[in-house]
Amino acid sequence: MNRVGRVVCIRLAARIGLVVGIFFGIILLVEFLDTGRFNQTAALAGPWTSTGLAFLSALRWSLLGLPVTVLIGAIVGLIDLHSHREMVIISASGRSIWSTMRWPILMIILSGVIVTTVVDSFAIRVYQQLDAAQIGWGRAYGVQNRETWFNQTGADGDYMLYARSVTQGGTQLRDVSILRLQPQGGTGTRIHARMAELEPGQWRITDGMVLDIDRAPQPFAEMTLATTATGSELSLQLGTAEDMSWFDLRQALRNGIADPFARAAAETRFQKLNAVPFVLVGALLIAFAFTGGYRRTGHYGWTIVYGIVLGLVVFVITEMADRAGSAGVLDPIAAAWGPALVAIVIGLTVILRREDGRV
C-alpha cells in the first residue's frame, strides 16, 4: 500500500468507526432505557446476562444499519480530507479518483467479509449460549414459546406435531400432541406427551400416552419417532433465519431444506450475508461520488444530504428485497445482490459523470 492509500484508508476507517460507534451507543442507550425488559431479564437470568444481551442486541442492530453508517462515516472522512486540502494535494499529484479509491475499496471488502463471517457469527453464537430465545431477546426470537405445528415425515410415516411451547430454536417442545396417519388397523394414531426433543434422525418423546379409539390409553415413559427434519430446518420454519450464522446457513443449505418457505428464507439470508461487502462498497462509492470532488467554496451541505438520502434509499430497497426474498416472492439471489448492484451502479454513474462529464 502506498502512502496516499494509507492516509485515505486510515482517515476513512477512523471516521467510519466513529460513526458506527455513535450509532451503536445510541442503540445501546435505547436498549437500557427499556427498563421493563431489562429488569425482567435480570430477574430470570441475572443482571450480567441482561447487560450482555443488551450489548449483543445493540451490536446486531448496528450490523443491520452498517450500509448507512459506512456511507455517513465515509462522507465525514472525505470532508475531513478536503478540509485539510489533502484531497487537493492528491489530485494535484496526478492521481485519479480511481487510484485513490482502490485501497479504500479493498479495505471495505475485507471489513465486510470479517463482519459477515466473524462478528455476526460471534454475536449469534453468544446469543445461543445465553439461551436468549427463552428470555425473549433478538429480532426473530419473538416466535419462541408459542403454539406451533410441524409437518413431519420419516421412516415411521407422516405425522403432524403440535407443541404448546417451543424452545431451543424448535428442537425442544413441551406439551406435545402428535397426530399420525396410520393405515387401517395401525395403532398410536394420537400421542400426547410432556416433552419431545430432537435427536439425529428422530424425536425422543418422554412422559406421554398413546390414544386409540378402540383401546384403553397406553402410558409410556419414553418412545421415539423417526424424522427427516434437522434443527436448522425447524429453526427456519419458526422464521428465525436472521438468528443463524453464515456457517449454519451454509450447512443447512448443503443438507437440504424440504420446506419451501424455510428454504427461501435461508437462501435469502445466506446470499444477503454474501452480498454485504459489496453493499458496503456501493455505499463507499456513493460517498466518493458526492463528496470526492473539489469545492472552491468548501460547502457540502446539499451534497451530503443527497448522499445520505441515496444511502437510505439503498437501505430501504435492501430491506424490502430481503422481505420479498424470504417470503419466496422474489428470487433469493436477486433479492440479495440486486441492492448491492444498484448501489454500485449509482456510485459509479455519478463518479463517471463528475469526472468525465456527459458522453
What is the reported pLDDT for 139? Answer: 46
User: Please, which pLDDT band fits residue 358 given cuts at 50, 70 and 90?
Assistant: low
State which of 237, 270, 299 marks the end of a domain.
237
The answer to whether residue 353 scores a pLDDT higher than 60 is yes
Q: What is the full DSSP assignment across 55-87?
A: HHHHHHHHHHTHHHHHHHHHHHHHHHHHHTTHH
Between 227 and 241, the more confident residue is 227
Q: Assess whether 56 and 132 both reside in one domain.
A: yes
Which of 122-131, 152-161, 291-300, 332-341 comes out lowest in average pLDDT?
291-300
Q: Assess whether 229 and 157 both reside in one domain.
A: yes
Q: How far apart are CA 296 and CA 357, in angstroms?
A: 19
Q: Assess whether 129 and 171 both reside in one domain.
A: no
**What residues make up the domain containing 276?**
3-138+255-356
Three cell numbers, residue 12: 476513512
- Residue 41 lies inside a defined structural domain of this protein: yes
Question: Which long-range contacts (C-beta less than 8 Å, at least 24 apart) are formed by 197-202?
Answer: 197/171, 197/172, 197/173, 198/170, 198/171, 198/172, 198/227, 198/229, 198/231, 198/234, 199/224, 201/154, 201/226, 201/227, 201/228, 202/154, 202/226, 202/227
The answer to whether residue 175 scores a pLDDT higher than 70 is yes
The answer to whether residue 235 scores a pLDDT higher than 80 is no
Whether this model's pTM surpasses 0.85: no
Q: pLDDT tens digits, residue range 91-118?
A: 777 777 777 888 899 999 999 999 999 9
| 275 membership: H or E segment, kind and range | helix 260-291
- Residue 312 lies inside a defined structural domain of this protein: yes
Q: Assess whether 228 and 282 both reside in one domain.
A: no
Please check whether residue 176 is in contact with residue 208, taking contact to mean a CB–CB distance below 8 angstroms. yes
**What is the separation of C-alpha 187 from the centre of its chain, rounded to a whole number of angstroms?**
44
State which of 203, 237, 271 marks the end of a domain.
237
Across 35-44, 150-159, 255-264, 339-348, the highest mean pLDDT is recorded for 339-348
